[in-house]
Structure formats: C-alpha cells, structure tokens
Chains A and B, each alone.
Chain A
Amino acid sequence: MIIPYLKGIIGFRLAPVTWCLVFLNALVMVMTMQTNELAQQNLEKQFDDEFYVSTQGRLYAQFIKAHPEDYSGFMSKLADMAKQGSEEKVTLLGSLAIRNTKFMNEAASYSFKGDQIAIQYWREKLIGIKKVQQIHPSYALGLSSQNFSIKQMFSYIFVHSGLVHFAGNMLFLIIFGGMVEPVIGGLATLLVFLVSGVVAALGFTVMTGETAAPLVGASGAVSGMMALMCCIYRNYPVRFVYWLFLPFKTYSGFVFLPAWVILGMWLASDVAGWLGTLSEIGGVAYSAHLGGELAGVFVGLGIYMLRFNSRESLFPREEVRPRVGEIQSFHEYRPSA
C-alpha cells in the first residue's frame, strides 16, 4: 500500500488558510452532527419498513415502464424483473427510487394502478421522508437536481456524510494544502479550493446526470488541490508512506517518488471508478473528483505559465533535495518546521 504523505501535517503558521478551511469544515460538521444523526436515523427507520420499500419498488417499476424514454435499458430490464415477481428486484428498485429526480418529483401525484391502500400508505410515508430530507444536512446543503443553485455549489463542499468521510477529506486537504499554500499563498489556495469545488459540482452534474441523491463532501475540491500540487511539483520527489504487509522494518517506511505519481494514481482510479460504476446505483462521486482534478490541472498550468519563470522559484529552499526512489525509515524521519 502506498499513500502520499508529502510534508505530513504541516503547522498552522505555514498554511493558515488550509487550516481555516479545515476548521470551517469541522465547524459545519459539529453544527450539523446531531441533526444529521437524527435525520439519518429517521430515514433508516423508514427504509426498515419492508412494506414501504416493496411498495415503492413496485410503483417505481410501474413508473419506469410508463416512461420508457426517460430511463435506460438497464432500469427498464430491472422494472420488468420486478413486475415478473422478483422480490429482490422490487426491493432494489425500492431503494433506488429515492435517487431518481423524475420519480421523486412526479410520483406523489401520479395515478398508479393496483393496491390503492398500499399506494396511499406509501404516499403518506413519502411525505414524511421528504420532510426529513428538508432538514437532513446532506439534502439541505448538498447538491442534487432538486437542489441546484449557486449556493448549493458552494455549500456542498462543507457537508460530509459521516466522520470517516470528513476525516479522510480533511487529512488530504491538510497534506495537499500544506504543499500548495506555502507556494501560491493563502488567497490563491482559497480560490483554488472553491473553484475546484464548483467545477467538481459541474462535472458531477454533467457526467452523472439528474439525480435526487445529493453530492456532499470536499473531495472534489481536495482533488483539485491535489492536481494543482502535482502540476506545481511535477518531478520533484515527495514523500509517500509505504507498507508492504510484512512485519519487518524494511518493508514499511517512507519512499520518495515524483509528485505526478499521485495524479496518475488518483486519475486512474477515478476514471476506472467512473467508467465502472452504474450511475443509477451511485456511490462515490468519481465524476466530481474528475471535475476537481481538471480544475486543478488548469489552474496549475495557468499559475505556472503566468506566474513563475523557473521551477526552482516555486520551492522553498531546502538543504538536501531527496532522490527519486530514496527510502527513509519511520524513525529517521524528522518533520519540517
């Protein structure tokens, strides 16, 4: 396993704007934590109701077959299987329905056929779910087809779906921001962060299409910071943590590799993820990562061409420039001030 470490967790003095962004994200996380938890529990409780989920699945199948022009062949086939009686597909459609903008917008007033008691029960539950979504931070502040505005394109960056999501994004924000901010300055870092986030949102909207499931998280913006860092440093050897799953000293430590390796790895996995994921099923928003990376690359190129004449002027003066492939054990590492 290999993870970029770069200069590690850099101090506030060297990257104040980066740290402020982290604190802002943390503040939003803390302020929305309780509401998030309650709303999420409420939503999960609704989806524990098998009758609601199966009714929703059947109605979604009916809706898909009634609007074939709006759904892919895959969804049409799923609907067919659900109508033929596959309980597994009915349940799957029941959980996917909530991601579909058209269904969520139109189903409440659509004239469905069949068990009217079940349909009425489902409508009442749906009203309840929509009310919960209005107060759920991910839906209220996240970006989706139903919630698409300039404000959402910024607010989604600061909302996370959970602690792990938040921690992962913030760790890499500090790591990449800590490399970028000393070079380009605080204001530029802030602009890059926000612009990457907006471009990530646009990338998500264009490449994923309409979805009622909200986009949340700073990973698009962080991808932009990462791409910018790779453009600035390019061949400069930066520190990676490696661990080869063997319990001996030489099989874990730091290794110095060119910065562009990070962009290569990230880009490859995001492209692979985007190509290999069904948009109807959702999951990680690879398209947002790609949008952010694109923004970061453009900004990086722009900064490079407009601002600096030589690469050496980008870097703080270091006594010893590491070599590519150089290995450093954990106890030899001394963090920079």
Chain B
Amino acid sequence: MVYRDVTRSNHSDDPRKDGGAKLSNLAAPGDRLAAAIIDISVILAPLVLLVSSPFQLLFVRSLLLNQEVEFLLSVTAIATVVLILTVSYMTMMNSLVGGTLGKLVFGLRVLGIWDQKKLSVPAAFFRSLTWLLSLAFALLPFLAVLSDNKRRPWHDRIADSIVVSVNKANFGSPNVFEKMFVQSVLGSVAALVLVSSMAIGPTVWNGILDSGLLPFGDSKFASYCDEVDYAMDEWPRVETVSEEKRLNIVLTLFAAGEVSKSCLEKEAQKFIDVKSSENATAYLAQAFVHSENPELSNQYLSKVCDLSPESSSCTMSKVVEDWSDSKWSSVEAHFASFVEHTPLHISVWALRHFIERREFAKAEDFLNKLASQPSLANFLAQQRVRILAGTGRDRELNAVAVTAIESLSSEGRLRVAEKMCDFHSKADSCAGTKSQPCQLLKKESLGDHSILVSAGTAIQVARVIACEDDEEDYKKLLALLPMQESHDYAVAVKAKLEGRVNEARGEFERLARLPDVSSKMRKQVEVELLLLLESADELYASVEDWRQEEPDLDWGVRGEALLENATRSGDYDQAMKIAELLIDERFRKTSILRPYVYSLLQSKKMKEAQTLLQSEWGVAQLVDAGKSPRRGLASELPGQSDLDTHMEKLMKHYRSGVAL
C-alpha cells in the first residue's frame, strides 16, 4: 500500500486550518514534556489524590497492620483509579479538543497522521493506554521523541497520531546527537538489565525482601529468640518449673555470652506479658537487661527477693549486688549455698567468677555440672582451656584445644584459638606463634577483619604477624590490620624481637599515651613496658610501686612481667620477693613457678626449689611435662632424675633468653 507522506504538506500555510496546525510543525520535545508536567501536576495528580483518598487510608492501615490482602487491594484500587482517570482524561481531551490542557497551553495539537483531524475515541483511548504503559517501561519509549523522524513514540504510532505545534515554527526531525543520545541510553539500560538479572538479580531481590522495604518479607513476630528455640530442643533436662524453662535457658545463654541482651529482654518481656504478673526470675532477667541503668537495675534486684525470698533468683540477685561492690567473699558464700540443683545460669556465673578469681578447682566443679549442655559448647570449651592453662596442665590443654578447634563452631574455635595462641606465645615466644591455634587465628582474622575488633584477638594476631620471618609477608599482613592500635602494637613487638629495644620502648610508651586505646591493649602495653625495663633502679622502683597496689588480676599479670624481667636480668633476690607475693593461689601459674624455681636454684636454695617442685603445684607441672602418669598427688614425689631434667629445661629456657 502506498501512502501519502502527509507531513510533506500540500496544505495552506494558515496554521488555524486543518485542526489548527501544519503537520510539518513537529512539536518540540521540551514543549511536550512541559505539557505532560502540567497535565500531571495540575489535573491528574490532584484528581487522583482526591478520588483515591479512601484507598490511601486503606493502604496506610494495611501497612501498619501488616494486612497483605488489604494492602494488595488498596494498591490495586489506587492503580485502577490512576488508570481510569488518566485514560478518561486523555481520551476525552484528545478526541474532543485535540489535546490535553497542557498541550493546549503550549499550543500543541494531537492529530491523526493520515487525515490531520482530531483523533477518534478508540484511537485516543489506545493512545492513552499506551502512554501509561510507557511509564511502566521506565519512560524509555518516550525517548523515541528524540530518535524517530516524526518524533512519534509508541503511543503515537499505535494511534496513528502525531503531535504538532500551532504557535511555533517546525522543530524539525531529530539530529544525529539526539539519536546518539537515545542509542547510548538504551544500550546502557540493556546492559544493566542483562547484568543485574544474571548476576545480582536474585541477591538484590532477597536483599530487598530482607531489608524490610517491602512490608511483608517476614510477617512472623520476633518475640522469641531463635537461639532459645534451638536450645529448648537440646535442653530437656532443665530442672525448673516448666513455664520458666525458656527464661532459665535464656538466662544461662546470656550468662555464657551466647545470646545478646536484646534476646534476654525479648524473652523476659514476653514472659511477663503472657503471665501479666510479676515474677522473680523475670525481674532478675530485667536487672541484667538494664545493667547500664544502675538505678533501674537495682530496683529490679531488690524486688526479686520481695517476690520470692527463698528462691535461687533471690540468692542470685544478692550475688549480683555483691559482685558490683566487689564483695568477693560474700559472692562465694552465696555460690556455696547452692548445694544441690543449682540452676544452670547460676552455675555459669559461678564458673565465670571462679575462673576470674583463679579458683580453678571450684571453677572445674561448676564446669563439670554444665558439661552436658550442647548449647554451651563454645563457652565451656573456652573456660576449660582457661582452667587448664591456669593450672598448668599442658598436655590436657593441648588435647582439649585440638578437639575444640575441630568440633566447635567458627566462633567457638576462634575463642579457643585466641586463648591457646596466648598460651603458646607466652610459653615459647615466636616459636609459639607457629602453633596451630595461632596460625588458625591469623588465617581467620585476615579473612574476616571484623574479628580483629576484639582487642584480645587483635593482640594475638599482632604478635603472630610480628613473628613473621619474611619481611614482605610481615608488611603485607601488617597493612591488613584494621585498627591502628594493633598495627602499632605489632610494629613495637617486631622492634622488640629484632633487639631494637629503645625503639620498642618508645613505641609502647607512645601507644600507652594515646587516649583511644582499648583497656585490654593498654594493660598489655603496660606489661610489655615492664618486661623492657633495663636498669636495676627502674626495676626496683617499679616493684616498689607494684607492691603498694591493690592485688587484683591485673596486678598479678604485672607481677608476672616483673618476675620475668628480674629473673632474666639476674636479680634473683628481687625475683624471689616478687614470687613470694604472687604465690597466692589466685595467681599461681606456670609462668610464676618456672622463674621462681630458677631463681631459687641460682641462689643455691636447692631445698626450697625441691620443696616447691614436690608440692602439689610442682608435681602437677612434672606430670604435665610427661614425666610420669598421674596416680594420685599424695604418692607423686619426683625422683632426682626428674628434678634434674626439669631443672635442665628451666636453665635452657632462661639461658636462651626466649622472649614473651
């Protein structure tokens, strides 16, 4: 079929004829866009808002009430209103008047391309439908205004229409720049769609669902903790009132650090809401939840005993009160009052307390009570490592560590690896950092930097990095440490290992002066500085200061560093004085026994050295050194050859000047 190109006009030049336009006067794209803006903002938007307002109310209600059906209904209704109003308006205006209000304002007309007359109603109808559809395609079809020779997008082609200008001169067909622009836009969009649908589409969609941008990703109320749900299945033998079972479980998991405070809060709150009454155990939980608000927390604690004076929760509330006031003997008396059926969460707190206080035998009793709880595996493994390290049971410790690293979750493995790496590196300096736990820690942390936020982990990893033989590896690993303090610590330790003592001291002193350093790092740096004291006067002054301080765990750690320093520098009298202060059960560790025995030997106090090695503590060291099987402490007296071998090892240890 041959058609006349009606845009090559045979018509008169009078723009007011033929519907008021010359077909050769193509409308400018800017005018069309401006006309659309007027139509939308002045006519359509107010009308749509008005007519759809009841559905908007339904939309808001359904969003707030998580009602999927009503939400979909309201969205459908609003979409229908938009559709009907837009199509009606555009159809009526285009067919009756030749253009919408916006087009009329800008002197534009919509005419049939064949007959240059106003559109028929069906044509106008399909034109408006297609116009709306173009919106759904991200406005891309409208780009044809810049690329088509007659500037006719989809909706004009469907209706065989063309938009022309009455008032202005011919805008003309698109030039090459306009066409190139459209091609580049379409090409970019196509590439983006292809890449996102293939590579990231499912991930993005799941992300949108999980982000909560859509209202109905997961309508389940998070009133309970998942961790407690899992534990409920594994924890059948909790010997408490069944309705408090969840509460006791969450208290236990919280005490073990396996759940967060918000989980405890959710469970406690849910329990109170369901019961609609007060409950001693729930109030105890609330006291932990609000631990950062001491006034509120104390109100909960005091109410626990008002509600249930004979209960274990009341005793635990007293433990918490005494704990915050550091009344340790009272705390221990409360724990001792639990003769039978100690609630598990109280056993966990007792275990933690006794480990912190270096009462390892008592801690082990509580550990054994908890041993059968799978949900506490990570926590128990870590505590067992601390007990074994604290009592110097090296062989058992290594066995436990190997099992733990193989069987625990990644978090549990890391916790154990950190403790074991600390143990190995302190025992055997850089050689210790080549151990499996240290290497595991290094590998995990460099794969996931977030774990290096913990100061304890960062310190261990920094030590491991400082002991790297290859300079390139050292620099590469150093650059990966995310926190400045661990970076600086590693540099200082490296300097110390390479004998640049002054440089190391300077670095540690600078680190100690920084205000933002974590408390754990600060304590570690203090210990390093004590280990680097060089002159006898400095050592003497530090020891005198140390003796005046209040004995606590940090005091004990600083004492060990002073003891180590005194022993290496040959000040055996000083070393023996320090050791005698540290010999208290709370601070008794392998790291005290060795330098103490060595100092005694160097001072020719053979009998005292022998007595020490023959004590329960000393025997434990020999047993774990693999000299003889453990047959009962009372019968275990080391023979002379055992003593000689042990002393030889000690001499070798100190003569080699092994650091850390």
Contact = CB atoms under 8 A, between A and B. Distances in A.
B53 A276 contact: yes
Interface string B259-294: 000000010011011011110001100100010010
Nearest to B46: A268
Q: Which of A120, A244, A265 has the most CB of B within 10 A?
A: A244
Contact of A248 (B30, B37, B221): B30
B508 interface: no
B42 interface: yes
B217 interface: no
Contacts of B37: 244-245
B221 A81 contact: yes
A29 B61 CA distance: 35
Nearest to B56: A276
A66 to B, nearest CB: 12
Interface in A191-245: 242, 244-245
B616 to A, nearest CB: 49
Contacts of B296: 51, 117, 121
Interface in B87-145: 105
Interface stretch (A82-90, A138-146, A181-189): A82-90
B42 A278 contact: no
Q: How large is the interface on B (under 10, 10 to 19, 20 to 34, 35 or more residues)?
A: 35 or more
Contacts of A244: 33-34, 37-38
B272 A84 contact: no
A265 B46 contact: yes
Contacts of A330: none
A1 B41 contact: yes
Contact of B50 (A81, A242, A268, A281): A268
B60 A84 contact: no
B240 interface: no
Best-surrounded residue of B33, B56, B64, B276 (most CB of chain A within 10 A): B64
Contacts of B276: 113-114
A272 B223 contact: no
B653 interface: no
Contacts of B275: 114
A77 interface: yes
Given A2-B42, A83-B273, A116 B278 contact: yes
A84 B221 contact: yes
A84 B53 contact: no
Contacts of B278: 114-116
B99 to A, nearest CB: 14
Interface string B34-60: 100110011000110110111011001
Contacts, number: 116
A276 B273 contact: no
B41 A271 contact: no
B357 interface: no
Interface string A1-28: 1100000000000000000000000000
Given A83-B273, A275-B53, A74 B30 contact: no
A115 B57 CA distance: 35
A278 B65 contact: no
Contacts of B283: 115, 117
Nearest to A92: B64
B196 interface: no
B49 to A, nearest CB: 4
A135 interface: no
A269 B41 contact: no
Contacts of B61: 74, 278
A62 to B, nearest CB: 8
A258 to B, nearest CB: 13
Nearest to A270: B50
Nearest to B283: A117
B277 A113 contact: yes
Given A84-B223, A114-B272, A278 B57 contact: yes
Interface in A92-123: 92, 113-118, 120-121
Contact of A85 (B34, B60, B64, B273): B273
B518 to A, nearest CB: 27
Contacts of A242: 38
A230 to B, nearest CB: 15
A325 B53 CA distance: 30
B303 interface: yes
B273 A58 contact: yes
B646 to A, nearest CB: 59
Nearest to B47: A268
Contacts of B266: 85, 87
A251 interface: yes
Interface string A257-276: 00000001100110111111
A1 B34 CA distance: 10
Nearest to A261: B42
A85 B274 CA distance: 10
B660 to A, nearest CB: 45
A277 interface: yes
A113 B275 CA distance: 9
B65 A81 contact: yes
Contacts of B49: 268-269, 272, 276
A265 B223 CA distance: 46
A114 B273 CA distance: 6
A275 B81 CA distance: 15
Nearest to B299: A117
Contacts of B290: 51
Contacts of A74: 61, 64-65
A117 B49 CA distance: 47
Contacts of B60: 276-278, 281
B500 to A, nearest CB: 51
Contacts of B64: 74, 78, 89, 92, 278, 281
B41 A2 contact: yes
B300 interface: yes
A246 interface: yes
B272 A272 contact: no
B41 A276 contact: no
B66 interface: yes
Interface string B10-37: 0000000000000000000010011001
B222 interface: yes
B46 A115 contact: no
Nearest to B34: A244
A89 B219 CA distance: 12
A278 B34 CA distance: 35
Interface in B596-627: none
Contact of B286 (A78, A86, A117, A273): A117
Contact of B66 (A81, A85, A121): A81
A86 B34 contact: no
B20 to A, nearest CB: 16
Nearest to B38: A244
A271 B50 contact: yes
A246 B223 contact: no
B307 to A, nearest CB: 10
Nearest to A51: B290
Contacts of A269: 46, 49-50
A195 B57 CA distance: 31
B58 to A, nearest CB: 9
Contacts of B52: 272, 276
A271 B272 contact: no
A85 B278 CA distance: 18
A251 B277 contact: no
Interface in B203-223: 221-223
Contacts of B272: 114-115
Nearest to B303: A117
A271 B53 contact: yes
Given A84-B223, A275-B56, 6 more contacts: A86-B223, A87-B223, A115-B272, A115-B282, A117-B303, A278-B64
20 contacts: A51-B293, A58-B273, A74-B64, A84-B223, A85-B223, A86-B223, A87-B222, A113-B277, A114-B273, A115-B272, A115-B278, A117-B286, A245-B37, A246-B34, A265-B46, A268-B50, A269-B46, A269-B49, A272-B52, A276-B56
The 5 residue pairs across chains A and B that have the minimum distance between CB atoms: A85-B223, A276-B56, A275-B53, A276-B53, A272-B49
